[in-house]
A and B are shown apart, each in its own frame.
Chain A
Amino acid sequence: MSIPSIIVERLSKTFGRSPVLRDIGFEIHAGEMVALIGPSGSGKSTLLRHLVGLTRADRHGGRVRLQGREVQAAGRLVSARRHERCRVGYIFQQFNLVGRLSVLTNVLVGRLGRMPRGRALLARFTEAERAMARRALARVGLAQLADQRANTLSGGQMQRVAIARVLMQDAEIILADEPIASLDPRSAQEVMQILQRIHEEDGRTVVITLHQVDVARRFCKRAIALKDGRLYFDGPIGGLTDARLTALYDNAGLDELKPRSPATDLAAPVGALG
């Protein structure tokens, strides 16, 4: 196997005085689908933000490499060309679409990093780019909504538009930060299935932070678990035994600990979140 897609070395982050990430390290190879789990406040979202440089680590806080390119080291972001940053897609819990723009424009925005500067600034998208955006929307099942304003959509639809935006980027790595935490059970299921399909059909590397262990078990082969900002577990998801899970969620919210059978569907934990 070539160099790993994602390399995290000795990553540490402190907010004020409280440490959020302590000495995290792992590697993820191309084509893996990995669940990043842990109780609320364990640092999993912060870790994901470090991977794209939305948050900077401490001054002696280690480094992050994606596809052989340094993203940050010792608390400094390493600048990169637009088309290099474009190769990593990011999905947010709160979707982060631009509400007043059309759905199609929100998807086209995924191409900005690969367009010539002048055309990007004037929003002069070509016919080919528009066609590509429509295909991306069709893949997430929203072709018919292309001309609506994004703020008229439901949460599940918005998240699918966000996925279409990542498809438009043609990103080799897809990072999803709690992509289903704000969604109803059915939308959550759809979003997870779409991500899985992209992973399987396009061979994309996918890292998803999740707080529902059963969802992680169903969709991911490997899990990385954080507890109090430390790496608690990294391995095949089967290795997360009930005893380990109990210890992982020890002192955490009890709703995340409910005993579950393999047949549990998404409804229970997502619904419990409210």
Chain B
Amino acid sequence: MNQSSVLNAAAGKRGWGSLLGWALTLGVLSWAWQGAEMQPALLVANADNMAALAGDFFPLEFGSLGHYIDQMLVTIQIAIWGTLLAVLVAIPASLLSSENLTPWWVHHPVRRLMDACRAINELVFAMLFVVAVGLGPFAGTLALFIHTTGVLAKLFSEAVEASEAGPMEGIRVTGAGRIEEIVFGLIPQVLPLWISVSLYRFESNIRSATVLGMVGGGGIGVALWETMRGFQYGETATIMLVIIVAVTLLDMASQQVRKRFI
């Protein structure tokens, strides 16, 4: 076999490989298209309905604005405590689920537990907690807390596993204990990332908290759900405006805080 035919053979192999890749990608996409019942034509066919609905949103009704702002504040309060509790539990949980700190019989079970917390959506947890502690913001706070713990524990432990071993060894050989080793050798390395990730989760928890009320978890979701069910779309639009303004302001504030730590 001369050199060019070797090259051709190689190119042919790559050709088949990439063709297979494309076919597979297209296959998955069309499979998902059917499953999701994608019918873009409907958007055109039902354009009138949508225009009518959009029209119902105007004019905005500002009569209950004060109430909506109060409810938005409750929503933020839910997010604050939901996130804070999650951070507090995620710190030990993430250390226990890091390969470089614990033996497998510790980090595997802890990881699976955190997977479970993460796999179930906040709304589902909210419905469960409504049964346990009754309707209201506390149920929503607990729901956010459990789900966010699962998310943060994973992200925190990824930072721990990416940290350098050297500084920890440096602390260990001074005679310090295992916990001092973590406090002085590890935490300073991962803290900036932990803060950044926690703030990001706080932002997204505010967004999640706005719908917790729909299942009885308190906050502005309650009003959102009631006005939509009552076809009071002018009120709904006002609520959405309040949410948009609040989320934007808090995102901006949290970005400012994050910049300080990185």
User: Which A residues are within 8 Å of any B CB, using their own CB?
Assistant: 52, 54, 82-90, 92, 94-101, 105, 109-110, 112-114, 117, 120-121, 123, 162, 165, 169
Known: A112-B184, A121-B183. A97 touches B170 (CB 8 A): yes
Indicate the size class of the contact surface on chain B.
Answer: 10 to 19
- Whether the Cβ atoms of A90 and B173 lie closer than 8 Å is yes
Q: Return chain B residues, CB-CB under 8 Å to A109.
A: 171, 174, 176, 184
- Whether the Cβ atoms of A54 and B172 lie closer than 8 Å is yes
Q: CA of A112 to CA of B175 in the docked complex: distance in angstroms?
A: 7
- Whether the Cβ atoms of B174 and A101 lie closer than 8 Å is no
User: Which B residues are within 8 Å of any A CB, using their own CB?
Assistant: 166-167, 169-177, 179-180, 183-185, 188-189, 191
- Whether the Cβ atoms of B169 and A101 lie closer than 8 Å is no
Q: Return chain A residues, CB-CB under 8 Å to B167.
A: 96-99
- Whether the Cβ atoms of A113 and B169 lie closer than 8 Å is no
Q: How far is the CB of A176 from chain B (nearest CB, A)?
A: 12
Chain A residue with Cβ nearest B172: A54
Q: CA of A101 to CA of B170 in the docked complex: distance in angstroms?
A: 13
Known: A98-B188, A98-B189. A165 touches B174 (CB 8 A): yes
- Whether the Cβ atoms of A96 and B169 lie closer than 8 Å is yes
Q: What are 6 inter-chain pairs, A to B, with CB distance below 8 A?
A: A54-B172, A82-B177, A88-B173, A98-B185, A109-B171, A117-B177
Chain B residue with Cβ nearest A54: B169
- Which 10 residue pairs spanning A and B have beta carbons closest together? A113-B175, A86-B175, A96-B170, A85-B175, A112-B176, A90-B173, A96-B166, A100-B188, A98-B167, A112-B180
- Whether the Cβ atoms of B183 and A92 lie closer than 8 Å is no
Partner of A112, one of B169, B174, B188, B189: B174
Known: A123-B183, A162-B170. A114 touches B175 (CB 8 A): yes
Chain A residue with Cβ nearest B176: A112
- Whether the Cβ atoms of B170 and A112 lie closer than 8 Å is no
- Whether the Cβ atoms of A121 and B174 lie closer than 8 Å is no
Q: Return chain B residues, CB-CB under 8 Å to A117.
A: 177
Q: Return chain A residues, CB-CB under 8 Å to B172.
A: 54
Chain A residue with Cβ nearest B192: A100
Q: Return chain A residues, CB-CB under 8 Å to B179.
A: 121
Partner of B176, one of A90, A96, A120: A120
